């Protein structure tokens, strides 16, 4: 893993934007995209740039079960607002959180990933080390699956909802094995609340207790993190 330490989320977003530019110049056609507060500044850089995505495909990591794109808390709504409304793509894929048969939806999403291999994937990280919605304990072999969100993730994400009990208890997420198939990965992390997870991911043992530690096995991962998020690293 290559680590780039930045002074601010804005500096990190600009670095990430440079990496996207490079990837697209190198022929990347399918982007793996993430939600959460971490990539917001990066998406601002992108929508204010001259980059054109009309020939590109995006595949998102995850979606809450029970929310459709008209719900402001859904990841579909987030992506439309922060990215797709400003920069249209050829195709945008997110799991359908309203599917009646979620198992079938998971299989269908795996097929989408297989048909659109991800060239360049961005990731945030949860305080407990989750990526996408792959919570601690998720097998490394997992493909797209339905997830029971942990208490800590529900609490961490409650800030986007009016009440904690409005946070969906389930999500549908691309699995760790699917994320590992992306050709290149850029993970961003900002703030002290991510320091434990970043330490475990980079310096800890590879363990399903900290899902992001699987990235130690990936040949092309760049981590962009600020000083607070890297404060617990030993070197």
Instruction: Give the catalytic positions in this structure.
Output: 62, 128, 130, 135
By CB under 6 A, name the one of 16, 53, 62, 174 that touches ligand GLP: 62
- Compute CA 100 distance to the chain's CA centroid, rounded to the nearest angstrom: 24
Helix boundaries (H) for 123-175 = 151-157
d(CA 123, CA 174): 12
CB nearer to ligand GLP: pick between 34 and 46: 34
178 binds ligand GLP (CB under 6 A): no
133 binds ligand GLP (CB under 6 A): yes
Q: How far apart are the first and last CA of the chain?
A: 14
Buried b (16+ CB within 10 A) or exposed e, 11-27: ebbbbbbebbeebbeee
CB nearer to ligand GLP: pick between 125 and 202: 125
- Compute CA 193 distance to the chain's CA centroid, rounded to the nearest angstrom: 17
Residue 34 DSSP label: -
Residue among 43, 175, 186 at smallest CA distance from 122: 186
By CB under 6 A, name the one of 12, 95, 97, 124 that touches ligand GLP: 124
Nearest approach in angstroms of CB 219 to ligand GLP is 22
Region binding ligand GLP by CB under 6 A among candidate stretches 2-10, 22-30, 121-129, 209-217: 121-129
Nearest approach in angstroms of CB 25 to ligand GLP is 26
The set of residues, in sequence order, having a beta carbon less than 8 Å from that of 11 and lying 6+ positions away, is none
Nearest approach in angstroms of CB 108 to ligand GLP is 20
The set of residues, in sequence order, having a beta carbon less than 8 Å from that of 224 and lying 6+ positions away, is 4, 6, 12, 15, 16, 186, 187, 188, 189
By CB under 6 A, name the one of 16, 61, 118, 186 that touches ligand GLP: 61
Nearest approach in angstroms of CB 124 to ligand GLP is 3
105 binds ligand GLP (CB under 6 A): no
CB nearer to ligand GLP: pick between 24 and 171: 171
Nearest approach in angstroms of CB 50 to ligand GLP is 26
Q: SS3 of 95, please?
A: coil
In the block, tokens 């360049």 appear at 120
Binding site for ligand GLP (CB under 6 A): 34-38, 61-62, 124-126, 132-133, 153, 157
């Amino acid at each position: 893993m290559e680590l780039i330490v930045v002074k601010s989320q804005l500096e990190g977003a600009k670095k990430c934007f440079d990496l996207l530019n490079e990837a697209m110049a190198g022929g990347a056609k399918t982007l793996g995209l993430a939600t959460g507060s971490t990539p917001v500044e990066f998406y601002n850089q992108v929508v204010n740039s001259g980059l054109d995505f009309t020939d590109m495909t995006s595949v998102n990591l995850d979606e809450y079960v029970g929310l459709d794109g008209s719900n402001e808390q859904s990841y579909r709504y987030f992506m439309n607002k922060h990215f797709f409304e400003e920069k249209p793509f050829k195709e945008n894929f997110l799991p359908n959180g309203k599917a009646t048969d979620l198992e079938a939806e998971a299989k269908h999403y795996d097929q989408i990933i297989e048909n659109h291999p991800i060239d360049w994937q961005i990731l945030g990280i949860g305080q407990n080390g989750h990526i996408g919605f792959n919570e601690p304990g998720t097998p490394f072999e997992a493909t797209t699956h339905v997830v029971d969100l942990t208490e800590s993730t529900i609490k961490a994400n409650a800030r986007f909802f009016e009440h904690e009990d409005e946070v969906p208890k389930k999500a549908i997420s691309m699995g760790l094995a699917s994320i590992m198939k992306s050709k290149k990965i850029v993970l961003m992390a900002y703030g002290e609340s991510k320091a434990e997870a970043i330490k475990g991911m980079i310096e800890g043992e590879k363990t399903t207790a900290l899902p992001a530690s699987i990235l130690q096995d990936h040949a092309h991962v760049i981590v962009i993190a600020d000083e607070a998020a890297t404060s617990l690293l030993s070197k």
